[in-house]
Amino acid sequence: MKIIKIVVGYLYTNCYIIFDEKTKDAVVIDPGADEYEILKSIKKEQLNVRAIINTHSHFDHTGANDSIKERTGAELFAPEKDNETKSFVNLNFRFFLTPGHTKDGISLLIENHLFSGDTLFADSIGRTDLGDGDPDELLSSIKKKLFLLPGNTFVHPGHGPDTTIEEEIEHNPFLK
């Protein structure tokens, strides 16, 4: 598995391209903006995008969905239930429903890599003051789902730098 991280849009959203180096099949997570930069990376690596996954429905994570879908023929995938597992690009994607930042928030685990959207950040958590956010749901999503993962799980958030589950359990001031 290979991961490309592209920071897109004026809110500096992390867009991720996950792909199999042998087959060149790929999944795009959170194509929020800058579709030309995303497409440039897809073309450079000669990837076949099979799916687009959004961690939640805010514009800064979904803004380039239509153009990426149109240019690549990828399907837009959303999990239907908690802990659903689906295979993409020869990898198993395990989905967690993680409401709190939004009602439709999800996180996804691929091997030991968690893509947490705007649920969990390095030394922070997602905002809950935008529309349908709920602070109690957010804390529950993190503590009862994400913090049950092994400590060495890499966390790739929707904004900002990467972290690990262990680092956030030990040091995240919002979760003490």
Domains and CATH numbers, the chain: 2-175 (3.60.15.10)
Q: From edge to edge, which strands make up the β-sheet containing 106-110? A: 85-88, 91-97, 106-110, 113-117, 154-157, 163-164
The two tokens of residue 139 are: 């804390």
- CA distance linking residue 154 with residue 167, whole number of Å: 10
Report the run of H or E that residue 168 belongs to, with start and end: helix 165-171
Put simply, whether the predicted model's pTM sits higher than 0.95 gets the answer: yes
pLDDT tens digits along 7-44: 999 999 999 999 999 999 999 999 999 999 999 999 99
pLDDT tens digits along 68-104: 999 999 999 999 899 999 999 999 999 999 999 999 9
